[in-house]
Amino acid sequence: MTAKRILIGACILTCAALVGLFLTFYERYTEERDLGFGPEARRNPFLAAEQYLADIGLLPRQADNISVLQGLSPNTTLYISSSSQVYNSTKAEALINWVEQGGHAIVVAYTGDFDSDAERGENRDWLLEELDVSIEEGHGHFELEETLEQLLGEDAVLTPEQSPADAMREHNRQIDERESEADAKTEPEEEEKPRNPSVDPEDLVTLPTDNGDEIQLYLNASHLLYHPAFDDSNITDGPVFYAKVWRDDTAVPFMQFERGSGVITLLTDATLWQSRRIGHFDHAYFLQLLAGGDEFVFLTRPRFDSLPQLARQYGAEFFIAGALALLAWLLLHGRRFGPLQPAPEVTRRSLLEHISACGHYYWQDDQCEALLRGYRGELLRRLAATDLSATQKHNLCDKLSASTGLDERVLVATLWGKPPSTEESFTEHMRNLQRIEAVL
């Protein structure tokens, strides 16, 4: 047995021993962590309500404009998250006509922040005007309590004397104590958190049901609804049902109107059925009681993702597309065939260089013979020597020799000789023709 086989066998035995030890001492551990709402729940605050209605047999869906009324059947429940979405008298009249045919509209009255009554009057609420309903200030402690509960959790117990900073410090101290107690125990006991927030029973609204039971609601009473029928019993088109938070209130957070065969339910609490509050008290059951028919439409304002959310959602695609575009650009500008060409000259050449370059081009292109033939024919025409005998040519050469100083043989070769075959002879012929032309 060689040393190599011994080494391989030892490695196999070691791996088998490690696997056996892992399987012997391995213990599965499961831990649940609450990471909060997912992306879909953050985009749709009524996701829990939609799932609840779907479980009880209804067909929930979303809409973002009051024009959805044109396609709704009377056997439908329409939830309008803000009465400001009924933005003119025509839409308010259309909504009431649809309710009179048998529809059920659940409308949250718009209680936006206005600096003065004049500003509130400029922003008219057409639906509330049709129902002769006005908005009044209510109890202002709900918002602080709800915000702290959202931050600290449902098990936070808040007192009116505590400031938000004191409540946060107290909550952190309780968390540290629970963690210390859990570390001291060998088997920590799981404590079930209460489903409902800790509120004063006087702040709860109790409503009767058809089967004789009662339901409890925790409504935001920072703004309340008022109708003149509360003080005048002679008004016949007032609300048929309403509920007060406290007995001495002159306005209510919830009321219902009958119009024709349908019902209009008015609320001042826009978060009652949102995902973070629908599980409190009997809010979900209250929604089930109000929902009738086969379809439930949530008419909410359009919600768009913020820039950081879009960046997280499409960041990978953006960088991949950018990397591919950069790679394509590098491939486009990085490819070449053959050696690099010299850089072109940017300076202009002189006139003599231009003439020299043209002459070399004509010579290489065999065009100099035609140039010489045309120049020679023009001189012979001017000398009237196109058709001369030998004696006449001799006499003409004598005259030209006397005036130009050229030899007679040179004159004969220039005027009637063969075309030159070299650059030097061509240049000499052209110079002689120019001397002859100069004496004419």
Residue recorded with tokens 């023009």: 378
What confidence score (pLDDT) does residue 105 get? Answer: 92
Lowest-confidence pick of 60-64, 153-157, 237-241: 153-157
Under the banding of pLDDT at 50, 70 and 90, the label for residue 159 is low
Burial of residue 62, with CB atoms counted within 10 A of its CB: 0-12 exposed, 13-18 middle, 19 or more buried: middle
Adjacency order of strands within the sheet including 295-299: 59-63, 295-299, 76-80, 104-108, 262-267, 254-259, 241-243
Rounded Cα gap, residues 269 and 278, in angstroms: 12
Rank 211-215, 285-289, 304-308, 429-433 by mean pLDDT and report only the highest. Answer: 285-289
The pLDDT assigned to 374 comes to 80
Residue 181: band (very low, low, confident or very high) from pLDDT cuts 50, 70, 90: low
Answer yes or no: is pLDDT of 5 > 70.
yes
Can you tell me the distance from the alpha carbon of 415 to that of 376, in angstroms, rounded to the nearest whole number?
6
**At which residue do the structure tokens 């012929």 appear?**
429
Per-residue pLDDT, 193: 67
Binned at pLDDT 50, 70 and 90, residue 230 comes out as confident
For tokens 């058709």, the residue is 387
Counting Cβ atoms within 10 Å, is residue 425 exposed (0-12), middle (13-18) or buried (19+)?
middle
CA distance 216 to 207: 7
Using the predicted structure, report yes or no on whether residue 115 has a pLDDT greater than 70: no
With bands split at pLDDT 50, 70 and 90, how would you rate the model's confidence at 104? very high
* Domain-wise residue ranges, the chain: 40-163+196-304, 351-438
Burial class, 253, CB count within 10 angstroms (exposed 0-12 / middle 13-18 / buried 19+)? buried
Strand-pair partners of 296: 60, 77
The type of residue at 122 is E
The overall average pLDDT reported for the chain is 80
**Per-residue pLDDT, 12:** 92
pLDDT tens digits, 240-270: 998 888 877 888 998 999 998 899 999 998 8
Chain centroid to Cα 308, Å, comes to: 10
pLDDT of residue 98 exceeding 70: yes
